[in-house]
Amino acid sequence: MANYPTCNHSKLLIDIEAFVEQTIDYSGNIGWERFRQELEFLIHEIDFAYDDNLWYSAYFQAILELKKQNTINGKVDYKQLYEMEFNDIQNIFCTFIRQREIERKDFYHAEERNREQLLKQIDNLTRHYSKLLFVRVDLAYVKEKHADIDIRLFRDDVQKLIRYIQDGDRCFSDLEGYAWALEQGEEKGYHCHLLLIYNGALKKQDYYYGNEAIERWKQITNQDGYGFNCNSTEHKEQFKKFGKLGVGMIHRNDQKEVENAKNVSSYLVNPEKDNQYLRVKPLRMRTFGMSRYHRSDRRYRERA
* pLDDT values of the chain reduced to their tens digit, one per residue, 304 residues: 444 445 689 999 999 999 999 999 998 777 888 999 999 999 999 988 899 999 999 999 999 999 999 999 999 999 999 999 999 999 999 999 999 999 999 999 999 999 999 999 999 999 999 999 999 999 999 999 999 999 999 999 999 999 999 999 889 999 999 999 999 999 999 999 999 999 999 999 999 999 999 999 999 999 999 999 999 999 999 999 999 999 999 999 999 999 999 999 999 999 888 899 999 999 999 999 999 866 544 444 444 3
Return d(Cα 65, Cα 61) in angstroms, integer: 6
Q: pTM to 2 decimals?
A: 0.91
* 10 close to 152: Cβ distance less than 8 angstroms: no
Measured on CA atoms in the order 8, 14, 18, 23, is the torsion positive or negative?
positive
- Domain range list for the chain: 9-95, 109-290
Identify which of 255, 212, 249, 247 has the alpha carbon closest to the alpha carbon of residue 231: 247
Return d(Cα 135, Cα 200) in angstroms, integer: 11
